[in-house]
Structure 1
């Protein structure tokens, strides 16, 4: 028995001691690493002590989506208001250069960045957070992969404040242990939510719950256990942050619930080896947040609000990255139902309309989804009225926003919906799924009158689109004006930076944790 106990202790503690030695070396090398980075920015050794570094963990910073707009707007704000602050972006975009990323930010978002206050820390282990790397147990695999990615990040630069802007909360354990620095988070979408658990419990097929699992009682029960354990550790991870911002009321409600999550059985297990080590490494402090703050993302309400509200083309515009959760197939099916129900909208009809899908294609997976969409459109017999615009520069996105009559968003439980706000500010009448941010925060009545439409099925989406195209001219113009006024007032860049500053990031960076 004593020999078995010795083996357990050895297996438990030896890897920890080995990693601890690595961590000591990383900390010891930081002075030289930081000096080298600052020297590359033209900061003299005499001025280096006045500089503070805010690290933004965003492995896909060059993707060009709504999450990236949050990142770059925050950094641009810091550069404009905090001259002694250096922004460090941890990214896996190793195929790009600093100059090309800055140029793309300008082209896509019309955001100008100062290269002298910005450094990129390029990470070579991003494949560890790719979906394709973890075809099974994806949540667990990506979370463990993100921890290694954070280890690589900290080995290259430990900032004074670490902010995750993509949703990799498991990195917080690594950053806290190695860096001993405060951690903040901007959460676009919880990694796991009660909605996901509910779909497994009710055995509903979804892009996160495959047919093979939803059709099996045994597999569904096993996945429920897996989700229970994952939720427990996700909650512990989030509680390592000293402040948490969320992009919508939907996300906030879920995150607040996760921050309060507990499991008595798993809590008890952490009083015994090897789990007790996790308590020591995690070190969840008493000041961990118990409530997240809503900071609505910055949306392009400056340029697009200048577009004319009249004279719009008969175009249905989709503006979303080609990711599975955006559910582009639902858009094609809704469009097919619309054309079948109203032949006058067909290409050879009296009032032909078109569907234009504008979005970013990040990788081979996204490219394959686009090809499957082309095949589906052809199968539905609508391919001659569907257009695809991939990885468009900002100017092209603006052009479509100025031309389209209505905007289409079919994602279920969209955490916020920057694209929907852009529709409204541009004067494009939105038709969105009746859930998440579009339902609760964005497409809501203004002065008691509607600003758009909600739907849930291809049939109801088709009917809502038909209503847009048959609105009387006066009612159509009034709805476009209401939508624009609400979007500009509520979701501007100014509102975002005010909320960002209210997160107390400056206080925590000055205070630290040591």
Structure 2
């Protein structure tokens, strides 16, 4: 009898929840607003993804002024005026008018710390919950994901939205699966798992299942823009919508950087590293390579200085920054290293204008906006030999080499030494070639390609 009652209660509760879901979705479909809703829970991360967000908002304001732009954000202090000011102060992007803001209060469900295990799938389903909050509060005609939360696309389609996305990198890729299969320990593959055959096998199966689900939800996008050749190859393989997938290189502020003089002071050669203080950016490798280069450099060469510039999203990033400071002391280069956190864009430009080289060390960086910024500013790039930098950016221009590619600490140290030993005239030739190549990734090019990509789906909204 008790089992029968319990079953009836469970069935009744399930039906009530299902009915509520259907009613909420139906109400959302009826009350869709003539707007583009940008799903970007972190509007203060300071990275390349945020630059894409503001440039995308500006492009829609220019091309479709009859559409309101709405930002879904988990930053509770964000206001229309503060976001418009932030776009200018941090990225030099001048919006035509302030966007509307919808505050989200369930962002914890996409934070890394919420899921100690099965983080990837936990965050993915957490993003659906967060998107539910967003769409219940405001249902737009067009749902635009600029943060890579593909699991939200089917829900947005249920609410009657056309789904547009700009994908910086796939949540899962064959490269990630290969590393687990080969049992390589990395920031996204715990050493305990890498050392165990059975745990690695279980993780491969988990990744295969997740890849299958990721392919299904990703295929719900009406328009999918990707930021590089590497990302495009993975997304087309996983989502299987090649006719709806377009490569649109991210907007890099090449115009304001290209006016900087190529000549730099050689009394204290400056190397710069621009990246968020996240584990995958691997600033620790740069610091170790820099210390090796200093130990190996010729006595008659001027002692260089390394400047780390980046933003901190949370406590974890703050802790990584402190570990870098501690490591600089341990490596005895503390007097040769500077740390700049959450700089204004104008201050970043000043630092780039004084650097002879820019360092980048993320493995499989989907694109690498910072690498393009180095090149546009006249700083020779020393980038990781993988993905975006290798396939799209640090390539020869008119037969002239535009920078260096490296993988290991030793290779990065060797590249730094080569640059320090390079005659000034030779460095200027390489810097000029790099600057010319950077023009391929300008904001102007982004706006043109972006508007072309979204025109088929937005044209009827005019």
Output the TM-score relative to the length of structure 1: 0.84
Which of residues 445, 457, 462 is equivalent to 1:508? Answer: 457
Structure 2: gaps spanning 5 or more residues: none
Shift of 1:31: 6.7
Structure 1 stretches of 4+ moved >3 Å: 9-17, 29-34, 288-291, 509-512
Pair 181,492 (structure 1): closer, same or farther in 2 beyond 3 Å: same
Partner Cα distance (1:16, 1:92) in 2: 31
Q: 2:434 maps to which residue?
A: 483
CA contact (8 A) 1:182 1:509 kept: no
1:156 corresponding residue in structure 2: 137
1:239–1:289 Cα contact (<8 Å) kept: no
Structure 2 residue 374 is the aligned partner of structure 1 residue 394: no
1:99-143: CA deviations, max 9, x gaps? Answer: 222212111111112335x21111011111011111111001100
Q: Does 1:384 align with 2:365?
A: no
Shift of 1:247: 0.4
Gaps of 5+ in 1: 35-51, 261-287
Q: 1:350 to 1:441 in 2, by over 3 A?
A: closer
The CA distance in 2 between the partners of 1:198 and 1:12, in whole Å, is 43
Contact 2:31 2:139 in 1 (8 A): no
Residue equivalent to 2:85: 103
Deviation at 1:16, TM superposition (A): 6.4
Equivalent residues in 2 for 1:170-209, closer than 5 Å: 170-177=151-158, 179-209=159-189
Distance 1:78 1:13, change over 3 A: farther
**Is 1:296 matched up with 2:270?**
no
Q: Is the 8 A contact 1:318 1:407 kept in 2?
A: yes
Paired with 1:10 and 1:478, the residues of 2 have a C-alpha distance of 76
Contact 1:33 1:156 in 2 (8 A): no
User: Aligned-pair distance for 1:26?
Assistant: 5.2
Report the Cα distance in structure 1 between the residues aligned to 2:178 and 2:424, rounded to whole angstroms.
43
Matched, 1:219 2:174: no
* Aligned 8 A contact 2:28 2:139 in 1: no
Partners of 1:185 and 1:243 within 8 A in 2 = yes
Aligned counterparts of 1:292 and 1:462: Cα–Cα separation in 2: 38
CA–CA distance in structure 2, aligned partners of residues 372 and 255 of structure 1 = 35
Tell me if 1:25 matches 2:5.
Answer: no
Please give the alpha-carbon distance, in whole angstroms, between the structure 1 residues aligned to 2:234 and 2:12.
Answer: 36
CA contact (8 A) 1:256 1:291 kept: no
Q: Which residue is equivalent to 1:424? A: 375
Is the Cα contact below 8 Å between 2:360 and 2:382 reproduced in 1? yes
Match of 1:127 in 2: 108
Distance (whole Å) between structure 1 residues aligned to residue 333 and residue 386 of structure 2: 27
1:270 match: none
* Aligned-pair CA distance for 1:25: 3.3
Deviation at 1:11, TM superposition (A): 6.7
Q: 1:64 aligns with which of 39, 46, 58?
A: 46
Q: Which of 310, 316, 333 is the aligned partner of 2:271?
A: 316
> Against the structure 1 CA distance between its residues 25 and 253, is the aligned structure 2 distance closer, same or farther, given a 3 Å change threshold?
closer
1:83 aligns with 2:65: yes
Residues in 2 aligned to 1:327 and 1:19: alpha-carbon distance in whole angstroms: 45
Q: Hey, what's the Cα distance between the residues in 1 that align with 2:71 and 2:165?
A: 14
Q: Which range moves more in the overlay, 60-69 or 335-344? A: 335-344
Contact 1:241 1:289 in 2 (8 A): no
1:462 aligns with 2:403: no
Tell me the distance in 2 between the aligned counterparts of 1:379 and 1:62: 32
Contact 2:289 2:413 in 1 (8 A): yes
Distance 1:113 1:291 in 2: 28
Structure-1 residue corresponding to 2:97: 115
- Structure-2 separation of matches of 1:475 and 1:85: 50
Residue matched to 1:237: 217
Give the Å deviation of 1:256: 1.1
Counterparts of 1:473 and 1:371, CA distance in 2: 35
Asked if the contact 1:62/1:101 (under 8 Å) is kept, the reply is: no
Q: Are 1:64 and 1:105, in contact at CA under 8 Å, matched by a contact in 2?
A: no
The residue aligned with 1:266 is none
Q: Could you say if the C-alpha distance between residues 203 and 32 of structure 1 is closer, same or farther in structure 2, counting changes exceeding 3 Å?
A: closer
Asked if 2 retains the 8 angstrom alpha-carbon contact of 1:243 and 1:289, the reply is no
1:143-165 CA-partner distances (Å, limit 9, x unpaired): 01000001001101111111111
2:170, 2:234 within 8 Å by CA — same for their partners in 1? yes
Q: CA deviation at 1:340?
A: 1.6
Distance in 2 (alpha carbons) for counterparts of 1:199 and 1:388:
32
- Do 1:242 and 1:289's aligned partners in 2 also have CA atoms closer than 8 Å? no
